[in-house]
Amino acid sequence: MATTTLDAGVRPAPNSGKTFFGHPRGLATLFMTEMWERFSFYGMRALLVLYMTAATTDGGLGMKIAVATAVYSVYNAMVYLLALPGGWIADRFLGARKTVALGGVIIMIGHFMLAVPASFSFFGGLGFIALGSGLLKANISTMVGHLYDGPNDPRRDGGFTIFYMGINLGAFAAPLVIGTVGQSVNWHLGFALAGVGMALGLGQYLLGTRHLSARSDEVSSPIPAAEKQAVLRKAGLWLAVAAVFYGVVALTGHFTINWAIWPLSIAGIAIPVFVFARVKRDKDLDAADQSKMSGYIWFFVAAAVFWMIYDQSGSTLSVFAEDSTASTLFGFNFPSSWFQSLNPLYIMALAPVFAWLWVALSRRGKNPSTTMKFAIGLLMIGASFLVMMLAMAAASGGVKVTPLWLAVVYLVQTVGELTLSPVGLSVTTKLAPAKYASQMMGVWFLAVTAGDCVAAIFQLALGDDVVGSTGYFAFQGAMAIIAGVALAMYRKRVIRLMGDVH
């Protein structure tokens, strides 16, 4: 059986005395840490494609749109892919508390690397942020759960609600602050400001760590010395092979950004296929578990299609905001990065409405099934790109369209997100076989990775003449709608595969 290790002198987080809105004090620490981390993440992301596509005379990298959007998609994919090893490192090596601290330091370094005006530093910074985000993202939510007395603690759901409000507050404020500085003053000053945001979150975390639960210091499944050596040896071997390969490519003058984008994109699609193949071949799973996993694959593919479109909010939609959208509304001027604040604003406004709606429909016996909610999510995300198709047509000939087009697109996407994303988290935990219970949330994140990698391949293959065009939005919107209709048509089959899960 696994043993646990605790740092000497660590005490359980007190559940009495001062509280944070009636919750353990540690929630305030994690709330502020995540708020500042999301501030840094979404602030940098609001600038990323705009900076890469800006002319070198304007301080940008002068990239083609197709390449810049592909870089963005792969970067986003790696953030979610690295959540898997991030959780594993906490479980086997460091424990959640130390892993989150390490992740925060790496993210901060990455942002400050972006503040250095050099291409090598820029791409290295993206790698650091993706790695650090994987370490932090995989564990900080788990630490929120550690603050409560088990899953039946009546304060638990409310605590997670407050925590996720911190995510959206940070995401809402970031484009308004970092976006303005980056676009109006200096790109690299904006990236530096994102680093300052992460530094504030890290400082808050380290100062408030005494309020966290002792469970967050546990290494739940410590890795034996022999296995540790084997893992480090294999990791070192693969890193050496990659370093030699890319060193040869660079020294022979053949290296381009495609040498990074294509392998990462293919890996981001191949890894989920490998994971599901391994699970489906597992003879320890009985027929009921195998049936549930077959049903889950439907949800996974649907989610991948959804995220493929949704995550272009910071890439193709950002370019449209900059190049084809008026920056004035009701006489008020604003930078194009401000559009990135619409989604978190809509989430904060609509999430309570949807929470009430599902309960109200359930009382009347009219609550849609999980399959139908996924289908609705796909229909909404597809519809958002059909609206973009119309917006692009309206912008033909260099016309600057009203910002209301993008306001509608982001609203439709947010409604789709609220229909699919929370339900996806729930169905993942319900369908997970007991053997893979702790791993399935990481598998759910792989849907984001797969969707973003497919988007990157599309963008590179189609090129500048197609990416961001009317046909580009029309094709993907139609594909998502077809997927939503197919899921609705086959919902009874999926429901049968789900067995006793509803």
User: Treating both helix axes as pointing N-terminal to C-terminal, what angle do 404-431 and 342-363 enclose, rounded to 10 degrees?
Assistant: 50
The pTM of the full predicted model, rounded to 2 decimals, is 0.91
d(CA 60, CA 53): 7
Amino acid at 355: A
- As a whole number, mean pLDDT of residues 214-224 equals 88
Confidence class for position 332, pLDDT limits 50, 70, 90: confident
Question: How many C-beta atoms surround the C-beta of residue 277 within 10 A?
Answer: 10
Confidence band of 128 (pLDDT split at 50, 70, 90): very high
Q: What is the mean predicted confidence (pLDDT) over 303-311?
A: 97
Nearest partner of 202 among 136, 147, 143, judged by Cα: 136
What secondary structure does DSSP assign to 237-256, as a single string?
HHHHHHHHHHHHHHHTT---
- pLDDT band at 17; cut points 50, 70, 90: low
CA 375 to chain centre: 21
CATH number belonging to the domain at 22-223, selected among 3.30.70.360, 3.40.950.10, 3.40.640.10, 1.20.1250.20: 1.20.1250.20
Q: Give the helix ranges, DSSP H, for 82-211.
A: 83-89, 96-114, 119-146, 156-174, 180-184, 187-207
For residue range 409-442, what is the model confidence (pLDDT) as tens digits? Answer: 999 999 999 999 888 888 887 888 877 766 787 8
Measured CA to CA, the distance from residue 445 to residue 389 in angstroms comes to 28
- Residue 4 is predicted with a pLDDT of 34
pLDDT of 453 above 80: yes
**DSSP bridge pairs for 401:** 325
Average the pLDDT over 32-36 and give the result: 95
The answer to whether 320 and 48 are in contact (CB under 8 A) is no
Percent of the chain with pLDDT over 70: 96
The CATH classification number of 262-502 equals 1.20.1250.20
pLDDT of amino acid 438? 64
Q: Which sign does the torsion angle of CA 166, 167, 170, 173 carry?
A: negative
Decide: 83 and 442 in contact? Cβ < 8 Å. Answer: yes
User: What would the pLDDT profile of 477-487 be if each residue is shown by its tens digit?
Assistant: 999 999 999 99
Task: Compare 331 and 288 and report the one with higher pLDDT.
Answer: 288
Take residue 238 and report the two structure tokens written for it.
């693969």
Q: What is the mean pLDDT of the chain?
A: 90
Q: Does the pLDDT value for residue 335 go beyond 50?
A: yes
Going by pLDDT thresholds of 50, 70 and 90, the confidence category of residue 3 is very low
92-104 pLDDT, tens per residue?
Answer: 889 999 999 999 9
Q: If you average pLDDT over residues 140-163, what whole number do you get?
A: 83
d(C-alpha 446, C-alpha 449), whole Å? 5
Q: State the angle between helix axes of 404-431 and 440-462 in degrees (0 to 180), rounded to the nearest 10.
A: 140
Average pLDDT, integer, range 362-372: 90
Q: Where are the domains of the chain?
A: 22-223, 225-255, 262-502
First and final CA of the chain: distance in angstroms?
A: 33
> The dihedral of CA 12, 102, 425, 3: what is its sign?
negative
The answer to whether residues 58 and 183 touch, using CB atoms and an 8 Å cutoff, is: no
Convert the pLDDT of each residue in 61-112 to its tens digit.
Answer: 999 999 999 999 999 999 999 988 998 898 888 999 999 999 999 999 999 9
Token pair belonging to 86: 């991030």
Residue whose pair of structure tokens reads 């959540």 in the numeric block: 83
How many CB atoms sit inside 10 A of residue 283's CB?
A: 6
- pLDDT higher than threshold 60 for residue 9: no
Mean pLDDT, rounded, for 114-139? 93
Taking residues 20-26, what's their average pLDDT? Answer: 86
Average pLDDT estimate for 368-377: 94
Confidence of residue 225 (pLDDT cuts 50, 70, 90): confident
Q: Report in angstroms the alpha-carbon separations of 74 from 145, 241, 299.
A: 30, 21, 22
List alpha helices for 325-439, DSSP H: 342-363, 370-394, 404-431
Q: Taking Cα atoms as reference points, which of 162, 178, 479 lies closest to residue 352?
A: 162
Residue 10 has pLDDT above 60, yes or no: no
State how far the alpha carbon of 220 is from the alpha carbons of 5, 127, 333, 437, 438, in Å: 8, 28, 52, 14, 11
Amino acid code (one letter) for 128: F
Bridge partners (DSSP) listed for residue 332:
329
Q: Tens of pLDDT along 377-408?
A: 999 999 999 999 999 999 988 899 999 999 99
Burial class of residue 195 in the structure, from the number of CB atoms within 10 Å of its CB (0-12 exposed, 13-18 middle, 19+ buried): buried
The residues near 91 (Cβ < 8 Å, ≥ 6 apart) are 219, 220, 221, 438
